[in-house]
Amino acid sequence: MRNVWVILKKEFYTYFSSPIVYTILFIFLLLSGYFFYSNVAYYSLMSFQASQWMGANFNPITWVIQPLFGNMSVVLLLLLPLLTMRVFSEEKKQGSMELICSYPIRNLDLILGKFLGCVGVYTLMLGCTLVYPLILWWLGVGEWGVFFSGYLGLLLLGSSFIAFGVFVSTLTENQVVAAALTFGLLLLFWIINWVGYIADSPLSKICENISLISHFQHFTKGIIDTTDIVFYLTFIIFGLFLSLRSLETQRLRGLL
């Protein structure tokens, strides 16, 4: 566990000593700030007319918070592969895997340290957006429950992206390849539930259940379902397990 902590701290150091985190954080806050502003502005514009004929359906949860989390999750799908692409690819390219392998640490510690380092940076990114519920509360909309479940959902969804990204970055020493592959495959996992519209029952059911987005939608509505939590945790553990296998196989074959 101590080694995990040492690696985690080093990862943090690396992220913050290079422009990666600052750039990603800037873009993330810019885009989600824009979405938040436009959602709130549109809601207030509509509220004058719509409340009369839409009644109870017209509320800030469905018109502001849900779309905000939806939009943030798409931005994360684009940005998190850029955060994870360097994790192992950079080490492989620089040849520092050779040195790390000579240190008395287990591969699992290395992977956990790097994963948690990434999750730490990601949590910080999410932390910066906590001003949105505060602003809404200041405006008189104190929907804490929905925000809590939404953030929990985002954290789990983002961690799944990261676990998968860590795995992909063990496969190649080229960071661009790692990012492109992570983004592409995650997008596939995202939209795989579309098969549900065209395929028959067993296949459509499976595709819907392994889709990353269909599990996330519950969280944005304020529903915390253990099925969804278990799904994301399984996805994370599977990603980390694949990373571990990938490292060990490459080590055995002398490909690191």
Partner 1 sequence: MVCVMALKWNFFSTNLSYLDLNFSFFVILKKKENCLGQEKWRALLFAESIYILSKLEGTMIEVFGVSKSFGKRQVLKDISFTIQKGQIVGFLGPNGAGKTTTMRILTGFFPPDKGTIKVAGHDMFTNPIEVKKRLGYLPEHNPLYLEMTVEGYLRFVARIKGVNGKRETQRIQEVMASCGLEGVRNRLIKRLSKGYKQRVGLAQALVNDPEILILDEPTVGLDPKQITEIRQLIKNLAAQKTVILSTHILPEVNMVCNRVIIINKGEVVAEDTPENLTSQKGQVEILLKAPSKAEIKRGLESISGVKDLKISQEGEFYRLLISFSPHDDLRPVLVEEVVKHGWKLYEISSRRLSLEEVFVQLVTEEAS
Q: Shortest distance, CB of residue 192 to partner 1, whole angstroms? A: 37
Exactly one of 44, 49, 94, 234 binds partner 1 (CB under 8 A); that residue is: 94
- Say if CB 12 and CB 112 are below 8 A apart: no
Residue 164: name the closest of 104, 119, 225, 130 by CA: 119
Q: Shortest distance, CB of residue 164 to partner 1, whole angstroms? A: 25
Exactly one of 44, 98, 138, 224 binds partner 1 (CB under 8 A); that residue is: 98
Minimum CB distance to partner 1 smaller for 217 or for 250 = 250
Site string for partner 1, 226-255 (x = CB under 8 A): -------------------------xxxx-
- CA torsion, points 84, 103, 17, 92, in degrees to nearest 10? -40
CA-only gyration radius of the chain, Å:
20
Q: Please give the Cα distance from 126 to 31 (Å, whole number).
A: 13
Residues 110-129 that bind partner 1 (CB under 8 A): none
Sequence-ordered list of residues with C-beta below 8 angstroms from that of 124, at least 6 positions apart, any chain: 25
Exactly one of 52, 55, 102, 200 binds partner 1 (CB under 8 A); that residue is: 102
Minimum CB distance to partner 1 smaller for 21 or for 229 = 21
Q: Within 10 Å of residue 247's Cβ, how many Cβ atoms?
A: 20
Minimum CB distance to partner 1 smaller for 93 or for 218 = 93
Tell me: does residue 101 bind partner 1 (CB under 8 A).
Answer: yes
Angle (nearest 5°) at CA 214 between 209 and 219? 120
E strands along 138-210, which residues?
none
Question: Which residue stretch of 48-56, 57-65, 94-102, 117-125 sits at the interface with partner 1 (rule: CB under 8 A)?
Answer: 94-102
Tell me: does residue 3 bind partner 1 (CB under 8 A).
Answer: yes
Site string for partner 1, 44-83 (x = CB under 8 A): ----------------------------------------
Residues 192-231 that bind partner 1 (CB under 8 A): none
Minimum CB distance to partner 1 smaller for 23 or for 49 = 23
Minimum CB distance to partner 1 smaller for 193 or for 246 = 246
DSSP string, 98-113: HHHHTSS--HHHHHHH
Minimum CB distance to partner 1 smaller for 49 or for 249 = 249
Q: Please give the Cα distance from 59 to 42 (Å, whole number).
A: 12
Q: Please give the Cα distance from 231 to 46 (Å, whole number).
A: 37
To which residue do tokens 């938040």 refer? 36
Tell me: does residue 23 bind partner 1 (CB under 8 A).
Answer: no
Q: Please give the Cα distance from 181 to 184 (Å, whole number).
A: 5
The site for partner 1 (CB under 8 A) is made up of 2-3, 6-7, 9-10, 13-14, 17-18, 94-99, 101-106, 251-254, 256
